[in-house]
Amino acid sequence: MRARDLAGEFPTVGMDTPAIEAARLLAAENLPGLVVVDSERRPVTVLPGTQVLRLGVPGYLQDDPALVRVVDEAHADVFLRGLAGRTVRECLPAQARELPVVEPDATVLEIAALMARTRSPLVAVADRGGALIGVVTLDALMDRMLAS
C-alpha cells in the first residue's frame, strides 16, 4: 500500500482564487483543508483548515488573545471583511514550511509521520514532475492503518 493507492480526488484552489471562495469551498464540503496548485497543477502549498481561518483573522489579532477579547461581538464580521477582495496568494504565510507532499511510492508510515510532523490533515501526492496526482486525507489514512 503506497501513496498512489491511497490518493483520492480532492478540490484544489489557485493562487488567484478569491479568499472568500476558498473559505466557502472548505466550509461547504467539510474539507480538512485546501490544496493550492499552480497553473501546471503542481501543489504550491497545502493549507490545513485551521490555517484557512487565518485568511480572515487580521494579523494583529491572530497571536494576541487579550486583543481579540476586546474586539466586540458586533465586529465578528471582521472575518468577512478580512477576506473581501483578497486572493489566496495574499493570505499565505510569509515563511516557507515543510510541505506535506509525497511521491507516489511513499509508504503509509511515511505519510503518517509527515502528517504528524507538519500537523496537516491532508498530504498531496505528486509525480516526479511535481504535478498533483491526488490527496491522502487523515481519515483515509486512519481507516487504512486500522484496517488490519
Mark 79-118 with x for binding to a copy of itself (rule: CB under 8 A) and - for no binding.
xx--------------------------xxxx-xxxxxxx
Least distance (Å) from a copy of itself to the CB of residue 56? 7
Rg of the Cα atoms in the chain: 17
**Spatial separation of the C-alpha atoms in residues 124 and 86, rounded to whole Å:** 25
For a copy of itself, which stretch binds (CB under 8 A), given 4-12, 37-45, 59-67, 127-135? 59-67
Amino acid letter, residue 110: E
Asked whether 126 and 36 are in contact (CB, 8 A), the reply is no
Least distance (Å) from a copy of itself to the CB of residue 102? 10
Closer to a copy of itself by CB, 27 or 131: give it: 27
The closest alpha carbon to 46, from 34, 57, 54, 55, belongs to 34
